[in-house]
């Protein structure tokens, strides 16, 4: 019985630590790359989900669509295998993947936050980064809802769009309207 329980937890941990990714090298003449991180759970809202939502709008870019569990470092390693001189210039993050994208503020030229989870410490220098956020604070718990509202005041009004729609409709709206 104990062996079965241990095997179950090992399998559960493997499933919950998904690191799927999909590489779309759409512009072989460019060394610029985009990372698009999906949400949680990755099995429903990860890399594959983001391909479905974004690929038509990013079809001229070199893109790696990634589950949120895939670190920036791992994304860079994957990109280097395909494009040795590849450099990430922009990132997108939906829901839990927004946390990953947020952490790239100050490191890449563009950060696109799509109804993101953001860190508790969100006071970060923007540096070279242009940040755009679309969000609905009413779909989040009190902590992230407050952080989203507060962080939105740090952005230019045109770079912070508050919407009143379900969490899962926001990616379609974002890519159809802003990309």
Flag whether 7 is in a domain: no
Flag whether 66 is in a domain: yes
Contact 76, 38 (CB under 8 A): no
> Which range of residues forms the domain containing residue 151?
18-178
Flag whether 11 is in a domain: no
Question: What does each of the 179 residues of the chain score in pLDDT, given as a tens digit?
Answer: 444 444 444 444 444 466 899 999 999 999 999 999 999 999 999 999 999 999 999 999 999 999 999 999 999 999 999 999 999 999 999 999 999 999 999 999 999 999 999 999 998 999 999 999 999 999 999 899 999 999 999 999 999 999 999 999 999 999 999 98
Considering Cα of 160, then 164, then 168, then 173, what sign does the dihedral take? negative
The pLDDT score that the predictor gives to residue 179 is: 85
Flag whether 13 is in a domain: no
pTM (2 decimals)? 0.90
CB atoms within 10 A of CB 52: 13
Residue 163: which residues within 8 A CB-CB, separation 6 or more?
Answer: 134, 135, 136, 170, 173
Number of domains into which the chain is organized:
1
Mapping DSSP to helix (H, G, I), strand (E, B) and coil, where does residue 85 land? coil
CA pair distance 103, 2, nearest whole angstrom: 40
Flag whether 99 is in a domain: yes
The pLDDT score that the predictor gives to residue 17 is: 60
User: Domain of 28: which CATH number?
Assistant: 3.40.50.1820
Mapping DSSP to helix (H, G, I), strand (E, B) and coil, where does residue 89 land? strand
The pLDDT score that the predictor gives to residue 97 is: 98
Beta-strand pair 62-66/21-25: antiparallel
The pLDDT score that the predictor gives to residue 15 is: 47
């Amino acid at each position: 019985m104990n062996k079965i329980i241990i095997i179950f937890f090992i399998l559960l941990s493997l499933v919950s630590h998904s690191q799927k990714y999909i590489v779309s090298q759409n512009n072989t003449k460019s060394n610029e790359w985009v990372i698009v991180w999906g949400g949680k759970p990755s099995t429903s809202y990860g890399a594959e989900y983001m391909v479905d939502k974004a690929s038509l709008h990013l079809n001229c870019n070199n893109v790696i669509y990634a589950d949120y569990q895939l670190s920036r470092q791992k994304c860079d390693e994957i990109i280097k295998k395909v494009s040795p001189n590849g450099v990430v210039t922009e990132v997108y993050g939906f829901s839990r993947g927004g946390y990953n994208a947020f952490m790239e503020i100050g490191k890449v030229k563009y950060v696109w936050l799509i109804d993101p989870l953001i860190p508790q410490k969100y006071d970060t220098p923007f540096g070279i980064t242009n940040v755009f956020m679309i969000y609905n604070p009413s779909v989040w718990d009190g902590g992230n809802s407050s952080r989203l509202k507060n962080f939105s005041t740090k952005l230019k009004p045109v770079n912070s769009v508050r919407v009143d729609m379900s969490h899962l409709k926001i990616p379609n709206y974002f890519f159809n309207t802003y990309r």
